[in-house]
Amino acid sequence: MLSYAIAFIAFILFFSNPIIKLFAPTSSLHSSRSPRPQLNESLLALPSPNDTALSCNADAYSVHILSSAPLVLYIENFLTQDERSHLLDISEPLYEPATVTNDGGATTHRDVTVRLSSVALIPRTDPVRCIEARARALQGWRPDRWLERLRTQRYDAPGGHYAHHLDWSSNAGGWGRVGSMMVWVHGDGSAEGEGEGERLEGGGTEFPLLRLKGDGAQWCRFVECREDVHEDAEQQQQQQNGRQQDESPDGGRMGVIFKPRPGNAVYWENFRPDGSGYDEAWHAGLPVTKGVKVGLNIWTWGRID
């Protein structure tokens, strides 16, 4: 009898959780989730009764998956030339010195050693609302997620930068900044036919903990590759010796620097499904050494899946 009792207890322990999941109503499985916190609607891109009907151009961007965990997408032609010009025009009178926060707190201060740039909280004009709609569609119109008001960031030479940081600060009861998108708006002559200013130098967006898999040759249009860096023979050898430990057997390498290509974008998710944040989302806007870089931040705030 004792052996039967032990076997029965083992059966219950092993199968009870799947059985509960199978037969319990879906709502009860999520009953422990915290309710939606109060939203500061002035900082969210929410529909307004005064909104006019939108007539947006058909999407013409293409998407490349760089990583699946965390999800990182590189997006070509996310912005049109007209949209980029509009963003520059409406941002110019609104720029203010960028600030930083401490531990996700409400107080802000300026610290140019951490962040040297100007920021503009831009109005929700029709072209801006079309960009918002495109960003929501890219993310699958998921419920309990809202775009934050769009902001442009201007980085001037010499030294405009944003030191390494995470866009997520914490998991606030199952809610947080779940997704981030950096869109490059302008890069002063950084590409053929792009602007009339001096060529942009520096200003890449670096993810030092993100692994680029494979030989990476196909990515050299979008990320910095070894041939992009001019080093003397001794420096190259030192770099090569250091890279030996960073490369995986499939030829992948640790660390990605996205080139600031106007009109293109990178999107990444900040949280794992279990609510913990991705360390791989640690990133920086590297110093601009020549020219001007303007980026567009599109942040998504909501429930962590």
Q: Where are the domains of the chain?
A: 60-303
Neighbours of 244 (CB within 10 A): 7
Do the Cβ atoms of 292 and 155 come closer than 8 Å?
yes
Return the SS3 of 27.
helix
pLDDT of residue 262: 96
Q: Residues 1-37, buried b or exposed e (16+ Cβ, 10 A)?
A: eeeeeeeeeeeeeeeeeeeeeeeeeeeeeeeeeeeee
pLDDT of residue 68: 95
CATH (residue range 60-303): 2.60.120.620
The segments of the chain whose pLDDT lies below 50 read: 2, 6-31, 190-196, 229-245, 248-250
pLDDT of residue 282: 97
Strands 62-68 and 292-303: unpaired
Q: 220: exposed, middle or buried (C-beta count within 10 Å: 0-12, 13-18, 19+)?
A: middle
pLDDT of residue 32: 53
Return the SS3 of 113.
coil
Instruction: Tell me the per-residue pLDDT of 227-285, one tens digit each, with 9 for 90 and over.
Output: 654 444 344 444 444 443 355 434 567 899 999 999 999 999 999 989 999 999 999 99
Please give the angle made by the CA atoms of 228, 231 and 235, to the nearest 5 degrees: 130
pLDDT of residue 184: 98
Q: 227: exposed, middle or buried (C-beta count within 10 Å: 0-12, 13-18, 19+)?
A: exposed
Instruction: Tell me the per-residue pLDDT of 95-113, one tens digit each, with 9 for 90 and over.
Output: 999 998 765 556 788 999 9
pLDDT of residue 175: 92
pLDDT of residue 213: 80
Q: Where are the alpha helices (DSSP H) in the chain?
A: 2-23, 26-29, 81-91, 126-138, 233-243
Structure tokens at 278: 């991705």
